[in-house]
Amino acid sequence: MDAAGRHGGRGERPTALVVITRAEPGGAQVHVRDLLAGLRGAVDPVLACGDQGWLTDQARALGLPVHVVPELEREIDPARDLPALRSLRRLIRQVRPDLVHTHSSKAGLLGRLAARLEGRPAIHTAHSWAFSDGIAWRRKALAVPLEAAAARWTRRFIVVSEADREVGLRYRVARPAQVRVVHNGVADVAPRARPGREGVPVLLMVARLAAPKDPTLLLRALSRVAAPWRLRLVGDGPDRPAVERTVDALGLRDRVELLGTRLDVPELMAQAQVGLLISRQEGFPLVVLEAMRAGLPVVASDVGGVREAVAPGRTGALVGRGDEAGLAAALQALLQDPALRQRQGDAGRAAYEARFTVRRMLEGTRAVYEEVIAEVGGPRPGPLAVERAPGGLPADPEST
């Protein structure tokens, strides 16, 4: 098919069909929302999603076309997956996108296959590989061959960290020429923290209470810390009962708040003195960038691409996966030293401004779009029309 036949013909900008499995609030969904908002001047985005929810509401608030594909579900189920593939193929024929950009594992597999069958180039963003370090081998044994097969239908992989690039190449899922690193970025907001504030320091961890997050390790480490502290856990999930039992078993009920899912995370960050993310596996988590944006020092597990954001000794501390004693020591050092918290929080804010703004993420993504369209033919993406995204939309939910 030539370039004229491939293009949807709505104007001078290319059309990008963005496909994701779930609309529920989370890190990938916040990332997609910011792409939809920020790339509107460069491309004509269209969203396809497996259900209705936070992300579809956000896209409609931006005035963008939204298509729900109810057969597109997270779990592998041939009875649903084949109809989902047919629906995605029909949608591609209807929208006639210049490229298809997929996010999340299931949408990534079916969306790229549909794009291949309909003769459209596909880009896939791997927010975290399904075979990353820290994931059980049983899952890897299924994920690696599936992703290797889908790589044949993929013009470019966007990975959100150098660590994810290394994992994709190590398992030979992607070729070096296919992979582009575009670090996550987050939109700026007004609330700022005062990490050096006197008084009992408030620790904040924003995360879904489910694997791979490890809040019980955090609680055990905090029970060993002599300095005063209060902990706020924002988020909900299937592990909440286990977290509550651990809180009670350690006698921490008067020092730990479980706040559930909240939409005022920037304000909660501004009230805290230390940001936390304790986990067994990550890609490049947005919540770390949100803490740095607020001006908080960050204590996090040294997994995935977290080291590419948190500089140990300068913007916070990193601890090994499952290292309870190391985590307790890192927390003790920050909790007893307000000046250290302030210095590291200021350095984190400076690092955010230099490297992790939403503008930088948008520029990197636009460059990949332009590269792919130049190879296959089609209208060139226009310039970015916004300085920040999402601009006036509701505050983000838990977004790790």
Q: Which domains does the chain have, with CATH numbers?
A: 3-186+357-376 (3.40.50.2000), 202-355 (3.40.50.2000)
Predicted local confidence at residue 25, as pLDDT: 82
Predicted local confidence at residue 8, as pLDDT: 52
Q: Is 136 helix (H, G, I), strand (E, B) or coil?
A: coil
- Cα-Cα-Cα-Cα torsion 90, 95, 100, 102, nearest 10 degrees, comes to -70
Predicted local confidence at residue 130, as pLDDT: 83
Q: Is residue 297 reached through a cis peptide bond, with omega within 30 degrees of 0 on the bond before it?
A: no
Judging by beta carbons within 10 Å of its beta carbon (0-12, 13-18, 19+), is residue 119 exposed, middle or buried? Answer: exposed
In tens digits, the chain (400 residues) has pLDDT values of: 333 344 554 558 999 999 999 998 888 999 999 999 999 989 999 999 999 999 999 999 999 999 999 999 878 777 789 999 999 999 999 999 999 999 988 999 999 999 999 999 999 999 988 888 777 788 888 889 999 999 999 999 999 999 999 999 999 999 999 999 999 999 999 999 999 999 999 999 999 999 999 999 999 999 999 999 999 999 999 999 999 999 999 999 999 999 998 989 999 999 999 999 999 989 899 999 999 999 999 999 999 999 999 999 999 999 999 999 999 999 999 999 999 999 999 999 999 999 999 999 999 999 999 999 999 999 999 998 654 444 434 344 445 4
Instruction: Extract the tokens encoding 348.
Output: 């984190």
Cα–Cα dist 265/244, whole Å? 21
Of 15, 43, 44, 47, the closest CA to residue 31 belongs to 47
Cα–Cα dist 234/263, whole Å? 10
Cα–Cα dist 103/101, whole Å? 7
212: region left, alpha or beta (phi > 0 left; psi from -120 to 50 alpha): alpha
Amino acid sitting at position 72: L
